Amino acid sequence: MYIKCTPTTKRLFTVTFLFPLFFFCTGQQTLTLKLTKSDCRKNEVFIFNNRDTIQFFHNNQLINEINLKNYRRWPILMDSFKTGTYDVFFKNLYGKKVSKTVVIPDTATSFDLHLCTDSLPEYRVNSLAYLKNRDTVKISFSTYGCFNNDEETLYLTKKDDRFIASLVSHEKTKSVTLDYSRIEAFIRFENEIRELRDVIGCTSVDTYLITMRTGTLKRIDGGCSWNGFHYLKKALFGKT
């Protein structure tokens, strides 16, 4: 078929052929999303007793849901996932629904999304900032179970413009001056233990009693998940 070339037909062909190109360049691309939700302090491969449902929202609309009871190991591969900005909702280790904003660029051909269950959205509490000279925060820790039975005490004391951590364990004491990273580790511990729910369901039960000038805080962790005192000791003293 012959079509006479006129200014009108030229404009028509230009619009007709450019529109698909414009749509392709500005539309969302698809890729494979590799999803992992785990305690980022550990190297977890298997999905064990995880009853969470992960939700993906785009422009305040629910786009996708992943029910973890239908899966056995990480990562979960999500094919034909569109690029863009998402708000991802999931439960953290403390039983709270939290969200993470994720931006997947159009240039990506695959994307690794790791949701950390051990973290909090904010770490607002810092008792060390309110200590006066010679004030002390005392953390009494005990753990009892089928395979362990132990008690330890950690002291954090302000001395002039420094903070000193002293661990009393098995009748031995070791001490260290807190630098910035160690202070951050204590702030993390202090905020997370306040979110910890008293739960029993494991062969071991950890009991925490924090004593300071402003009062006391007691938590019982029988979930075998948080292990906050272990990670705090590791951050302050290295391997103990």
pLDDT grade for 240, boundaries at 50, 70 and 90: low
Per-residue model confidence (pLDDT) at position 51: 82
Distance between CA atoms of 66 and 33, rounded to whole angstroms?
Answer: 12
Higher pLDDT, 142 or 198: 142
Annotation: CATH topology of 29-116: Immunoglobulin-like (2.60.40)
Higher pLDDT, 46 or 41: 41
Q: Kindly report the pTM of this predicted structure.
A: 0.81
Per-residue model confidence (pLDDT) at position 176: 98
Which residues in the chain are classed under CATH 2.60.40.10? 29-116
Per-residue model confidence (pLDDT) at position 48: 67
Per-residue model confidence (pLDDT) at position 27: 66
pLDDT grade for 3, boundaries at 50, 70 and 90: very low
